[in-house]
Amino acid sequence: MADFGGVKLPALSLGAEAALAVAHAVYKERIYTLNDFLTVDKWLDRGILEELGVAPAMRYIASLHLAVARGVAELPSRIPLGLWAFALMERVVSFRLTAATLPNLARVGTRFGRLFLSKLV
């Protein structure tokens, strides 16, 4: 529960928010931004990465995160296509919930194709 202006609302833990930032950066956007960096740096709870099935994405983000912290990489950083594709396939193969949602892609039709192709460029 979180307090927003005196109103108690259900909310994710800070660790879950950081894990979702990693998952969104890698799987959906294929880009790691300064906002993602700051969220992960302040809130990351490594245990929740396994629970949410985003540990494959975090392996790459961890090395990029350290490079940014050391000043040898800049943000935003585009995630290389090969690493992105590998992390995505590893998630599909190893995380049952992701694999179970694949049939839904057929219902999305051409929209999925356009979104997928946009990540390749």
pLDDT band (50, 70, 90) for residue 79? confident
Q: SS3 of 7, please?
A: strand
If one counts every other C-beta atom within 10 angstroms of the C-beta of residue 113, the result is 11
Closest by CA to 118, choosing from 25, 32, 33, 30, is 30
pLDDT band (50, 70, 90) for residue 100? low
What are the tens digits of pLDDT across the range 8-67? 988 888 888 888 888 888 888 889 999 999 988 888 876 777 777 777 778 888 889 899
Q: Tell me if the pTM is above 0.85.
A: no
Residue 111 main-chain phi, psi, to 5 deg: -60, -45
